[in-house]
Structure 1
């Protein structure tokens, strides 16, 4: 086998997956977290487009193939640099905002101002910028796809082996490139990608030393890289949702970018990607005064000397307030490790450091998994909403902290409370009304969690408080394993009143306390001004129900009248059936435009090759209908199973990027090994083997994605992360091994050695995969991850049906031909 082909294919596939995963990190900062799937779609679209170019181009003579690949590598190196540079220069969420009514422009808005404007007017986000930049980001994948298809086309007989090399390289890229982020940052990782592209390029140049044009051309990406570095082209300039006035330092990890910035004078803020922020707070008189009016301080004062767990402790504001009110033991959990490490290491000498206060223990992990692993019973488990503070965060709702707020999560928290302990959940909303929109959906999730934990009358087990918060309202749910007593209600009301922050008790009804003379009528009217809300909340408790059973979300599509569960943890749906909020309208428009673009490209990928009538051997290019169906179904099915795995297992792996790297690399590695193994299967047994491996894929996929989370949910939440990652990698590699047989077996059985047809097959598979990634995102939001898993299983069962029908038709035609000849 040609060594140059293998080296070029390996490096290009490695770089392609590395750039894809790197784009997911950048999209999460300059766009929204749920735009991560765009990187996958762009990769597949580029691969398909490149494959079509390879299909349409003339066959290259063997003696010129190395030089052609070298020139393509130069173009790839240039395209990677240009795409990253352009992407990082664009401000998708503008710092300067023009009022649609007055036409006045406001610059450098504060966080609160920007949040208020974009929440009320999400259409002001310029979607056209996103669509305009897609062709630029598309370029490196276009060249990569062309190079891959070029190699496949000119070595069609070794497709199974080369396909295996491609997938093995993609595994290395998916794992290695993201890991470079932590030591080298974004800029260093991009440089490393460029160096990788130069490896096969230099090897080819050494074999063709007298090609001075190529030697000269290789200088162009080097020169461009130097220019971009000099002008700071590979740094974040415009994080969506925030105005980066002064970035002090930043940390890149495979999971998130954390930036410490000076938000206001003498006040610092940590920003996680673009959709979550937390202020740095120290134990001093000024910060204590600033946060003393916070709703969560009420239970802190009521449980002095108690044991507290803070989920998403961030910059430490809850820690200093808990310490102020005498909480003796504080477990602080934060998933964004760079925040804690920066505070503990870089700020260790600052007085009042929140993580170095007496009694504070900190954990860098997902809050829910820490609760499940803990053997303690807490007096308070407290959490502020995470990831929802910006317009970006409100639209995205895709980061794993969202699993912290499902009915199953609330049930698990209640199990780890003492009988008189409090679960405190504080969040922000635009309006004060307690049961409407996404605010009501949060309440319903809490109530559903009570029902899951066995509480029969949840209306007796929680208190709802609220306070004005400048541009909206803060609300806090206090839930309890046992019913609230009158003494507790009275204490909550009096402590809340002492804050002088206009805190109201929205539920339960305080009238019985007034009737017994425990509070005055004036206090009753001041503490509970809107009596109608009490009835609405009571009715919501009565009507609430568990989201129970695998088919629940399939039968009951996304609705604000339901809570959230682990199968469908999103507050906002895709907006396809009905857009219930401005955020859903924005999400719907994004998906709709993507489907239009993908539909046009899909037609081009599938139909355009029909205009080329001749194959490389001089005969017609023949696409067997069975092969076309199998390739489309494989593209859809593989991505459905992969995306379902990422969606389902991010709960256990603590972050979607961790899940993406682990599952993507495991499945691709397994698929590569499966492809290499398929080369050993003789032609006569290929069709039977397609059915065998498609059936095994469907069964294995169903067991891994449906049955395993049901049977081993608690075990996976409690497992150490390293052990879980290793086990998941092996299990998904097993699934990938089965899936990896189907495409090479199908190409071998129905395409033969038609080099041009192999390139076309590559494009068709990419087309199915593109639709698979976007459809999986839409379906999971509307109907849950279980349905995505089922669709993936169904695709592989349809492959079996396709082959069986093809065999039946072949026998019928053969029998008819034999009858006519006799």
Structure 2
């Protein structure tokens, strides 16, 4: 019986996490992942609500537990299939959510998402919570099965992403639940058992048919791929299914090499950039892919990115991002005269496509490798004259944000020749402030130099700015050449040391973006360059005051806080919401976290208040209410704080967020499951077990905060297998201890305190939902070290709040 119960918990937990991951992929491909995270986070409050219902009707549920254990897997199959169907037909449009007229209808659509997905998570939570309540003496083993099942489910669905279209991953979930249903079939044999098995077969078959025949998943109209897919004679040349994303290589008359070019291109005798296939990842355009055959490169001298090669001719160049294979060709044969070129690609699909096209041209002085810039710089000994980051590198994957940090710029500077230059692009299409924050990041990276502003130049086109950082201060000859390049090509020189705004022409007007005024300032005469004005203030004598008083957060991006594009201050939320229609997509994640946190806090209050309807029952049973709430709330917060921080930290090591997610999530859940199983050794002394676990967790958090960045920096050039081994070693001690805490807390709820078990499950679930957005906000505002510190405090609080068996009995 124990093995059947553990197997059922394993399978239900496996299905629940598989469903969460596949929904995350669905929203990333069909819509925007930020809104998927919003919807799924709130829908997962079903776990918390299930605990509340169990607390209110515990006796009735336990009296019917055999029926419920048989019915719930069948209901879960239906809820999974129906929830996915109603999710895919929802006409949600996030662009309308920022429209003052249309936003109310979109809130209604978000409510429909909640209604579609809540039942599955409620039923999953009810099954697990009922298992803890009905078999409390086996909680350590059952919780181990829960955690290991979740780890296996996440890993299995990630593996399926290699072979199954992301819109059809849903087919896996009913099959897992079907096995769970068979495990819970009546054990009497005969007609009753066979009837139940036949019913389960009918239900799973109906769910599979509906998932395939009535699948309405699609790219929504606001995705960049949607209009391209509907262009006449559009061709899908290739498709690639991976956990990193769903890739499509498209060819049609609209696809061309995408590059920031001079407005004078036609006057220079060029016909423009060549036609090229476009690579899309999860419906978002990544880059043009170098086609075969001869290519007209006459556009190259008119590119914004060509300036460093004018300043440093005959350069040895490191290209961070190959732009689909174009950049090595452009810098070596496109009139730029590079004598030695090493190109880096981090995305495997992009690398393979770029390398195939690149190899066909047989350029003997150029190489292309798949690695992170940090890993390449860790093993390269010969200095570079130019380090050039491609326009599309940041958008290739979440882990690439580490290439735009203080730590990365300092690594670039160490790898430069004495007069070498780093060139880093940043889009200013939505907000010029992104370039200001990148310039501040560069300034802080150069803080050990006497006059860092003399090493920085900023120039731009209409939609793209580039930050030039020189190892030696820019000379007068350099500045004259820069100004001539920009003037000849109608680019704007937005900053150099000693700039006189009156003496610098503005070719591409860039008015300021303000959230503090209702009207636009029209008093100024002539074209404006808001970026120039901000940079002069940033590097001027009152720079500290400018940074402190700015509406935007100009704190530099670092390896501990690598969020260059999150520039809003929470204290200015009201002004931001007043002009929500101009908030760019880059800031949606920040606002989504605030919305999720607000709703999760409301749900937590409800979870805490509803069981008061049974206050007399809880008090009669001597349930340790206050201590229990504090203990299980701390567990819900602390576990996810550590997990989220480690996923992003190790994404820097592996240069891949998906691989980091899979390894960290699976590793933590499996090791935590083993820790849960080991917690049984402290069955007679749960408080001693909690002390051991908290000491181990606290030491791990201190080591993560103090030494993890250093260890990752040292391991960047290590072989992939050894990097994974490092991650496993780093995860194991803390994860074993984390897995002990929940069953040890449950072991304290003996005798009359057993009525608190479902409330403990509800509180843990509610605060787990709070933890995710709160962790993201803390990481953005303060960094991951603070996240580890807060997690450490949460577990120390749990140590002092633990409801001991003695206290419960009293």
Q: TM-score range by the shorter chain?
A: 0.7 to 0.9
Aligned to 1:463: 457
Partners of 2:504 and 2:613 in 1: CA distance: 81
| Partner secondary structure for residue 419 of structure 1 | strand
List per-residue Cα deviations over 1:284-342 (Å, max 9, x = no partner).
77663455522112223554543222223242332331132343433222222122324
Aligned to 1:320: 329
List per-residue Cα deviations over 1:697-731 (Å, max 9, x = no partner).
12222212x01225424213333333222221232
List per-residue Cα deviations over 1:100-147 (Å, max 9, x = no partner).
79x9xxxxxxxxxxxxxxxxxx98994553443133233322221111
| Partner secondary structure for residue 302 of structure 2 | coil
Confirm whether residue 220 of structure 1 aligns to residue 203 of structure 2.
yes
Aligned to 1:550: none
| Partner secondary structure for residue 161 of structure 1 | helix
Query: Does the 8 Å CA contact 1:282/1:320 hold for their aligned counterparts?
Result: no
Partners of 1:71 and 1:779 in 2: CA distance: 41
Partners of 2:601 and 2:537 in 1: CA distance: 46
Query: Does the 8 Å CA contact 2:43/2:114 hold for their aligned counterparts?
Result: no
Cα distance, 1:133–1:353 mapped onto 2, change above 3 Å: farther
| Partner secondary structure for residue 351 of structure 2 | helix
Within a 5 Å distance, the mapping from 1:267-278 to structure 2 comes to: 267=256, 268-273=277-282, 277-278=286-287
Aligned to 2:249: 260
Query: Does the 8 Å CA contact 2:628/2:801 hold for their aligned counterparts?
Result: no
Confirm whether residue 335 of structure 1 aligns to residue 336 of structure 2.
no
Q: Report how many residues are paired.
A: 750
| Partner secondary structure for residue 707 of structure 1 | helix
Q: Unpaired segments of 5 or more residues in structure 1?
A: 104-121, 513-520, 547-552, 815-822
Partners of 2:70 and 2:651 in 1: CA distance: 39
Partners of 1:459 and 1:620 in 2: CA distance: 69
Aligned to 2:665: 664
Q: 2:302 is matched with which residue: 273, 293, 296?
A: 293
List per-residue Cα deviations over 1:574-629 (Å, max 9, x = no partner).
6422247634986665344323432332233233233347989x974734432221
Query: Does the 8 Å CA contact 2:30/2:218 hold for their aligned counterparts?
Result: no
Report the more deviating stretch, 16-25 or 733-742. Answer: 16-25
Cα distance, 1:536–1:429 mapped onto 2, change above 3 Å: closer
Q: 2:109 is matched with which residue: 129, 138, 142?
A: 129
Aligned to 1:503: 491
Deviation at 1:153, TM superposition (A): 1.9
Partners of 2:572 and 2:205 in 1: CA distance: 50
Partners of 1:42 and 1:522 in 2: CA distance: 55
List per-residue Cα deviations over 1:135-179 (Å, max 9, x = no partner).
323332222111112222221111111111111222222223212
Within a 5 Å distance, the mapping from 1:440-459 to structure 2 comes to: 440-451=436-447, 454-459=448-453
Q: 1:139 is matched with which residue: 97, 119, 140?
A: 119
Q: 1:190 is matched with which residue: 170, 188, 192?
A: 170
Cα distance, 1:672–1:527 mapped onto 2, change above 3 Å: closer
Aligned to 1:608: 610
Partners of 2:505 and 2:60 in 1: CA distance: 86
Within a 5 Å distance, the mapping from 1:359-378 to structure 2 comes to: 359-378=365-384
Within a 5 Å distance, the mapping from 1:320-719 to structure 2 comes to: 320-323=329-332, 324-325=334-335, 326-344=337-355, 357-386=363-392, 399-430=398-429, 437-451=433-447, 454-468=448-462, 473-497=463-487, 501-508=489-496, 537=535, 540-541=538-539, 559-570=552-563, 571-573=565-567, 575-579=569-573, 582-583=583-584, 590-612=592-614, 620=621, 622-683=623-684, 685-704=685-704, 706-719=705-718
Normalising by the residue count of structure 1, what TM-score does the alignment of the two structures yield?
Answer: 0.80
Deviation at 1:657, TM superposition (A): 2.8
Query: Does the 8 Å CA contact 2:551/2:572 hold for their aligned counterparts?
Result: no
Deviation at 1:481, TM superposition (A): 0.7
Deviation at 1:562, TM superposition (A): 3.1
Aligned to 1:117: none
Partners of 2:780 and 2:498 in 1: CA distance: 39
Deviation at 1:449, TM superposition (A): 1.6
| Partner secondary structure for residue 748 of structure 2 | helix
Cα distance, 1:630–1:232 mapped onto 2, change above 3 Å: closer
Cα distance, 1:422–1:608 mapped onto 2, change above 3 Å: same
Within a 5 Å distance, the mapping from 1:740-755 to structure 2 comes to: 740-752=739-751
Query: Does the 8 Å CA contact 2:372/2:655 hold for their aligned counterparts?
Result: yes
Cα distance, 1:131–1:457 mapped onto 2, change above 3 Å: farther
Cα distance, 1:356–1:12 mapped onto 2, change above 3 Å: farther
Aligned to 2:763: 764
Partners of 1:668 and 1:359 in 2: CA distance: 47
Query: Does the 8 Å CA contact 1:695/1:800 hold for their aligned counterparts?
Result: no
Cα distance, 1:672–1:283 mapped onto 2, change above 3 Å: same
Cα distance, 1:224–1:162 mapped onto 2, change above 3 Å: closer
Report the more deviating stretch, 79-88 or 416-425. Answer: 79-88
Deviation at 1:205, TM superposition (A): 4.8
Partners of 2:83 and 2:327 in 1: CA distance: 42
Cα distance, 1:573–1:536 mapped onto 2, change above 3 Å: closer
Deviation at 1:426, TM superposition (A): 1.9
Confirm whether residue 279 of structure 1 aligns to residue 279 of structure 2.
no
Partners of 1:137 and 1:377 in 2: CA distance: 54
List per-residue Cα deviations over 1:472-496 (Å, max 9, x = no partner).
x322122111122333334444444
Query: Does the 8 Å CA contact 1:25/1:257 hold for their aligned counterparts?
Result: no
Partners of 1:16 and 1:355 in 2: CA distance: 49
Query: Does the 8 Å CA contact 2:85/2:215 hold for their aligned counterparts?
Result: no
Normalising by the residue count of structure 2, what TM-score does the alignment of the two structures yield?
Answer: 0.81
Partners of 1:736 and 1:320 in 2: CA distance: 48
Query: Does the 8 Å CA contact 1:11/1:169 hold for their aligned counterparts?
Result: yes
User: Cα RMSD (Å) of the superposition?
Assistant: 4.1
Partners of 2:152 and 2:776 in 1: CA distance: 25
Aligned to 1:73: 73
Query: Does the 8 Å CA contact 2:629/2:763 hold for their aligned counterparts?
Result: yes
Partners of 1:538 and 1:48 in 2: CA distance: 52
Query: Does the 8 Å CA contact 2:394/2:400 hold for their aligned counterparts?
Result: no
Query: Does the 8 Å CA contact 1:44/1:769 hold for their aligned counterparts?
Result: no
Aligned to 2:213: 230
| Partner secondary structure for residue 461 of structure 2 | strand
